């Protein structure tokens, strides 16, 4: 599979053109060029600064098929595959799992699992991210999208930008909200705690980024002063849900980093429940549901009632009509 783009006018640099055309960061385009996956008029492009001219033809290739190991690589992880075809892979990420590696990460990552399973995946974001379209925090569970080729990766990245790809989360907070609320602000690194993100005035940090979330109350336990809410993401910033809630003095149950002070000693109860997207090849509208893990499900049933929780989980599509 490959993508071909016919050039309609002259451009000074191919990396700048493709960054705008595919709506991707320039470093991802340079990664494609580094791996000889960009051709100009059927010749390999070696530099991002090469000019392109009207009537040129750019070809974007998929990564090469990985070498099959003689025997399957060992992995200690057990990850549910929600859906898989030639273009996309939808997984249900468990808690205590980092998506991709870093110098400080010693444990097996989701990318390590993907490599161990020998999937043929996109390298559009570089080999260390291995098909990852978006990320989830280490202790956040739920649906995550993996691209199996570069064409699909570019398409899904554009869908993230255009909002035709989106996610709904379920979480429990320690202080109920009365009505649905949209929070939008500039998010940046907290100057007093580098482990946290925080709401910033744009002037406070040149590295802050616009963020927007919708918070929807679902079930409330008045006695315990806790509430099940749904969250729709319009942007996907680091710690976005947690930082937005902190900005209105709410915290997710189990989130010690952002200030939860209750008695619950488990992990943060935040789950990416629904993913909707347009399939990169078939163009069909798809909706995927990631089953809630037992620890969070037990908390929900104990504190809100099994019948009420089942009613919400069995008909999650109603969330798509809330915006």
Residues 6 or more apart in contact with residue 93 via CB below 8 angstroms:
79, 99, 110, 136, 140, 141, 142, 143, 144, 272
**pLDDT at residue 67, as a whole number:** 38
**pLDDT at residue 322, as a whole number:** 59
Question: Once rounded to an integer, what is the mean pLDDT over residues 175-187?
Answer: 94
Cα gap 115→103, rounded to integer Å: 18
**Which one has a higher pLDDT value, 317 or 126?**
317
* Max intra-chain CA distance, the chain: 69
Q: Give tens-digit pLDDT for 152-168.
A: 887 888 788 788 999 99
* Cβ contact 223:303 at 8 Å: no
Q: Report residue 248 as tokens.
A: 């209105």
The question of whether 137 is a catalytic residue gets the answer yes
Kindly tell me if the per-residue pLDDT of 23 is higher than 70. Answer: no
| Lowest mean pLDDT, pick from 56-65, 200-209, 217-226 | 200-209
CA distances, 177 to each of 77, 220, 308, 319 (Å): 37, 9, 19, 17
Give me the count of residues in the chain: 323
**pLDDT at residue 127, as a whole number:** 57
Q: Are strands 141-147 and 270-278 parallel, antiparallel or unpaired?
A: parallel
Question: Partners of 195 in the beta sheet?
Answer: none
The values of phi and psi at residue 270, to 5°, are: -135, 125
Task: Catalytic residue, from 137, 139, 174, 255: name it.
Answer: 137
Question: Partners of 187 in the beta sheet?
Answer: 199, 209
**Which one has a higher pLDDT value, 26 or 279?**
279
Cα gap 96→104, rounded to integer Å: 15
Q: Report residue 109 as tokens.
A: 């990552």
The H-assigned helical ranges of the chain are 14-22, 26-34, 110-116, 150-162, 240-247, 294-304, 306-314
**pLDDT at residue 323, as a whole number:** 54
Residues 6 or more apart in contact with residue 310 via CB below 8 angstroms:
none
Count CB-CB contacts under 10 A for residue 235. Answer: 15
**pLDDT at residue 69, as a whole number:** 42
Closest CA to 135 of 158, 167, 183: 167
pTM reported for the whole predicted model? 0.80
Q: Give tens-digit pLDDT for 97-125.
A: 998 777 677 788 998 898 888 877 776 65
Cα gap 196→188, rounded to integer Å: 9
């Amino acid at each position: 599979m490959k993508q071909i783009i016919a050039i309609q006018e002259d451009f000074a640099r191919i990396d700048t053109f493709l960054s705008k055309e595919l709506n991707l960061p320039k470093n991802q385009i340079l990664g494609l060029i580094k791996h000889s996956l960009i051709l100009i008029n059927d010749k390999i492009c070696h530099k991002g600064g090469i000019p392109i001219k009207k009537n040129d033809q750019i070809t974007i290739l998929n990564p090469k098929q990985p070498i099959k190991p003689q025997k399957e690589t060992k992995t200690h992880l057990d990850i549910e595959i929600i859906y898989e075809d030639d273009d996309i892979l939808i997984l249900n990420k468990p808690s205590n799992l980092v998506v991709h590696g870093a110098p400080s990460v010693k444990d097996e990552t989701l990318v390590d699992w993907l490599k161990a399973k020998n999937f043929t995946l996109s390298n559009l974001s570089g080999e260390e991210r291995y098909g990852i379209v978006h990320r989830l925090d280490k202790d956040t569970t739920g649906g995550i999208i993996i691209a199996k080729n570069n064409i699909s990766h570019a398409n899904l990245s554009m869908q993230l930008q255009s909002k035709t790809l989106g996610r709904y989360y379920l979480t429990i907070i320690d202080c109920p909200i009365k009505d649905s609320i949209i929070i939008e602000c500039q998010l940046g690194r907290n100057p007093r705690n580098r482990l946290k993100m925080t709401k910033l005035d744009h002037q406070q940090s040149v590295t802050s980024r616009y963020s927007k979330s919708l918070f929807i109350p679902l079930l409330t336990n008045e006695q315990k002063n806790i509430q099940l809410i749904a969250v729709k993401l319009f942007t996907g910033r680091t710690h976005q849900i947690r930082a937005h809630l902190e900005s209105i003095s709410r915290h997710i149950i189990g989130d010690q980093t952002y200030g939860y002070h209750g008695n619950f000693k488990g992990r943060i109860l935040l789950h990416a429940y629904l993913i909707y997207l347009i399939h990169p090849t078939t163009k069909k509208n798809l909706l995927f549901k990631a089953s809630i893990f037992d620890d969070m499900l037990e908390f929900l049933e104990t504190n809100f009632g099994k019948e009420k929780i089942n009613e919400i989980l069995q008909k999650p599509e109603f969330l798509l009509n809330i915006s």
